[in-house]
Amino acid sequence: MSGIREICFDTETTGFHAKGDDRITELGCVELIDMLPTGRQYHAYLNPQRDVPEKVTQITGLTTEFLKQNGKLFEQVASEFLEFVGDSKLIAHNANFDKSFINAELEKSGFPTFSDDRFIDTLQMAREQFPGSPASLDALCKRYNISLSSRDKHGAIVDSELLAEVYLQLKGGRMRNLDLGSGQSPDITSITKNETKERPSPLLCNLTGDQVKSHKKYIESLGEKMVWNKYWR
């Protein structure tokens, strides 16, 4: 498939400390070509091999028991995850957080980690474009009128899908993509000029008689083809 390939991805975790005992519980990826979703996705629930705090379950809906029964170990999905992302750029919101967790899991499983230049951080993009304004994913969805109806709780896939829409808007919106991949220029609607209408009656002249004579003499000195002669009475 031609075009620029990028991956929007998100992780859900047991906490905030990637270098401690916190682990990834869910991993979601959405493929983009020229900044538009293709429909290809990667998703996995992961068994963190530890309890999920209740306050995290309230946010994600993922329980310790559910992940024990339905989650795989990261080393079991690492190869297919790496195959899916390939060498594409990885787009994440607050990328440092997701990068720290994904690299910690890769390192624990004996795989090479991602370099910093693989990541595009939409949080940083938003802060640069809207300094001083809220820049959370929810706040950006609200700014761009992106519906959150598909999300009951935070989930890696649904958040990746929302991130894909936010990323497109941060890069200039759908108008920027009208001709991507087609090699054709976008169809731009022509602008109709407003016709100039004459006044019902001319404006009154506020010049004195001497000023009129002086101006008329100056206009005549410019020659008959000057545009002023068309309007001078």
Catalytic residues: 154
Query: DSSP labels for the chain?
Result: --S-EEEEEEEEESSS-TTTT--EEEEEEEEEETTEEEEEEEEEEB--SSPPPHHHHHHH---HHHHHHHPBPHHHHHHHHHHHHTT-EEEETTHHHHHHHHHHHHHHTT-PPPPGGGEEEHHHHHHHHSTTS--SHHHHHHHTT---TT-SS--HHHHHHHHHHHHHHHTT-GGGGTTTTT-S---PPPPPPPPP---SSPPPP---HHHHHHHHHHHHHT-TTSTHHHH--
Nearest alpha-carbon partner for 44 in 17, 16, 80, 19: 80
The single-letter DSSP state of residue 36 is E
Q: In what helix (H) or strand (E) does residue 156 lie, and over which residues does it extend?
A: helix 156-170
